[in-house]
Chain A
Amino acid sequence: MHVDLYEKFWMWLSGVLLALFAAAIIYTAAAQAIQPPSHVETIDPTTSRTDPRFVSLGVTETADGQQVVVMAQMFAFTPTEIRVTAGRPVTFRLTSPDVIHGFQIVGSNANTMVIPGYVSQYTITFNRPGEYLIVCNEYCGLGHHLMYGTLIVEAPGGEG
């Protein structure tokens, strides 16, 4: 098969470019452990409200940071307001008793689907104190745009 010289050049260039992309992804995934939220854990959506993992919603202190347990349901997050401390790892655990929702903290990398029957979990550290908007970013019915909450990141040691 005859391939024009310039075209060969372009093919190599494209190949190298894509290989660089791939290398960058492998590097961030392996060396910096940057991965999308991919926790695997199931839960019965009909009883999740009384499931021991989801009876006490809200923030608890753990040995190495904070844990936030959130129920996403039509059309609210419980709790609506979450207070965490800046500079410490925060682990979110979420589930839904009804349809699929999204949980996105605007202005951060926190962005996960919340799917009934499954527990979403991921850890993130907020370095900048302030008030963040939390939105549902998956269509969940006519009240989808009314589903939001607030995250308040307090400076460590301060009264916030």
Chain B
Amino acid sequence: MNERYRLPYANFTVAVLAFFVGACMALMQALSRADLPLPLRSEQIYYLSMTAHGVLMALVFTTFFIMGLGYVFARTTLGQDTVNERVGWISFFVALIGTVLTAGAILSGTSTVLYTFYPPLQAHPLFYIGAALLVVGSWIWCWLMIRAYRLWRRDHAEAAIPLAMHGMLTTVIVWILATVGIAIEVVGMLIPWSLGITTTIDPVLARTFFWWFGHPLVYFWLLPAYAVWYAVLPRVAGGRLFSDPLARVVFVLFILLSTPVGFHHQFADPGISAGWKLAHTFATLAILFPSLLTAFTIIASLEVAGRLRGGKGLFNWIARLPWDDPLVSCVILAMLTFAVGGFGGAINAAYAMNAMVHNTAWVQGHFHLTVGTAVALTFMGTAYWLLPRITGKELRLKPVAQVQPYLWVIGMGLFSIVNHVTGMMGMPRRVYDLSYGGSPVAAAWAEWTTISAVGGVVLFVSAMMFVLVVFATVVWGKVGQAPAFEYAVPLDPAEPRASVWDRMGLWTVAAAALVLIAYLYPILQLLSMERFGSIGWKPF
């Protein structure tokens, strides 16, 4: 193991462990959908394991993986000494302790509140305290990333930020803006309330702060994946990045637009006026734009790769891509899946159409395509790319790694299509059982969900294949020469120079202003009404 990568390696280890446990929980839930008489099957375990699955996958796996990736990008593009090792370990342990506290609270059965933890459902105080520590750990990491950039900038006044790091800094800024909302909710409202310091809580205010955080959370996951698509994929595929400046425009648009959109998750809430919901809808549509640009740039970069590899004609370049490279196949499959997921997302965001799908199975179908595949599969591919480079060991069981992404997409196809269909048929999400007193409508859902259970099993097998490859490489990998970290080179040979799209401070200020515009008035409006708080409930 290379000394320099011990810190990211520790972060990746926690990420993969969280993914492993989260996938085991998912298997139990997916099998419930087939309505088999499994031993120990109960509503307690179903909702408890769903809480654990949501938290471990959406919050722990992603956060630790992104922190590890941030260290790798900073060290390989900005310089070895730009990351302060000691502070990095503090960040790691604070986040790890937080994770252990939250996971313990969930497993003890006192915190079956799901990963959205909407009050007045009340979890054990340690559930919230652990979550807060996870965020504090990530804030320390944010500080380290910004510090690394500053140190580098001192000696590189004229240069453009290396693109991988440009994407990572975007991630950091989005995360800081987002976590202000969750910090207010968790530290200001939930922790004192769960400790009995305050007796009541306003659920709509809490939800508003939650979704201030909840939507940019999506971009916190997605932007590091985009950084890999832009800065790593074209290189591994053997091509060039089609447009470097547009990649920067895309990242900056995400800084601006990620946060002022949260009400699109609260379309069905009382207490928030329709006008503000509409305002957030427009920002939501605008944020589709940078993703559409990304689709163009990445596909064009892949075409460059295919043609450099000898592809001719209209489509032959596609066949020439190195489909047997696990990073390439993971990322391309992730992108294709994301195109479908983005289409569904436009429907979720459509103000009036939202009522058809809100809180139905459609929603879980949607986010398993986006975070569950576009992001997670990109991270798996990234792990295959990173492991040999940070451990100096050859990837073990390479054929398994080559098959695994295809299996994931097959499993996800079954799982997700069924959930979209049953969602359109009105099946609610997050339900243990579909009897509904013998209702014929519900019986029609149940006919479909058995297929989603099959998809879930395929997904689980694919997840275990990933874990197996990682484990085998780490334990039995043949030690050799670690391949170098190499990033994509733009098609335009001119060295990119610092431009307005590298002015991160400026864009942060502009984004903060947009957040204020989007939230200040509606929150003041809420605060100025006569409101009645709720005591805590623990119906689990």
Contacts and interface: CB of A to CB of B under 8 A. Distances in A.
A137 B425 CA distance: 13
B97 interface: no
Contacts of A38: 269-270, 272-274, 277
A45 to B, nearest CB: 6
Given A2-B245, A142-B44, A106 B426 contact: yes
Q: Is the interface of A mostly helix, strand, loop or mixed?
A: loop
A29 B360 CA distance: 23
B2 interface: no
A112 interface: yes
Contact of A15 (B266, B289, B354): B289
B339 interface: no
B93 interface: no
Interface stretch (A17-25, A54-62, A64-72, A83-91): A17-25
Interface stretch (B11-19, B393-401, B429-437, B470-478): B429-437
A100 B429 contact: no
B532 interface: yes
A113 interface: yes
Contacts of A102: 268, 359, 428
B184 interface: no
B358 interface: yes
Contacts of B245: 1-3
Interface in A1-41: 1-4, 6-7, 10-11, 14-15, 17-18, 21-22, 24-25, 28-29, 34-41
Interface in B142-200: none
A157 B232 CA distance: 69
A7 B359 contact: no
Interface stretch (B292-300, B404-412, B480-488): B292-300
Interface in B251-281: 266-274, 277-278, 281
Given A14-B289, A142-B43, A112 B540 contact: no
A42 B272 CA distance: 11
* Size class of the contact patch on chain B: 35 or more
Contacts of B243: 3-4, 7
A137 B242 CA distance: 45
Contacts of B269: 38, 113, 115
Contacts of B121: 99-100, 139-141
A109 interface: yes
A40 B522 CA distance: 12
Contacts of B204: 115, 117-118
A116 to B, nearest CB: 5
Contact of B271 (A24, A106, A115, A145): A115
Contacts of B274: 29, 35-36, 38
Nearest to B436: A148
B234 to A, nearest CB: 15
Given A29-B351, A136-B428, A117 B289 contact: no
B531 A42 contact: yes
A152 interface: no
Contact of B429 (A39, A115, A120, A137): A137
Nearest to B287: A18
Contacts of B351: 25, 28-29, 34-36
Interface in B434-469: 434-437, 439, 441-442
A148 B297 CA distance: 48
B79 interface: no
Interface string B511-539: 00000000000000000011111110101
B539 A143 contact: yes
Contacts of A115: 203-204, 207, 269-271
A82 interface: no
Contacts of A10: 292-293, 296
A151 to B, nearest CB: 12
A141 B285 contact: no
Contacts of A148: 436-437, 439
Contacts of B434: 145
B428 A36 contact: no
A36 B285 contact: no
Interface string B339-381: 0000000100011101110111000000000000000000000
Nearest to B499: A1
B417 interface: no
A118 B539 CA distance: 21
Contacts of A11: 293
Given A4-B242, A21-B346, A42 B120 contact: no
A104 B426 contact: yes
Contact of A144 (B288, B430, B532, B534): B430
8 contacts: A25-B352, A99-B534, A111-B268, A115-B204, A142-B47, A142-B112, A145-B43, A145-B435
Given A14-B289, A99-B534, A104-B426, 17 more contacts: A4-B300, A7-B300, A10-B296, A21-B285, A35-B351, A36-B277, A36-B352, A40-B529, A46-B535, A98-B534, A99-B120, A112-B268, A137-B359, A137-B428, A140-B539, A141-B539, A145-B432
Interface of B: 43-44, 47, 112, 114, 118, 120-121, 202-204, 207, 242-243, 245-246, 266-274, 277-278, 281-282, 285-286, 288-289, 292-293, 296-297, 300, 346, 350-352, 354-356, 358-360, 425-426, 428-437, 439, 441-442, 492, 499, 529-535, 537, 539-540
In the A-B complex, list the 7 residue pairs whose CB atoms are closest, starting with the nearest: A141-B539, A106-B426, A137-B428, A137-B359, A38-B274, A14-B292, A36-B267
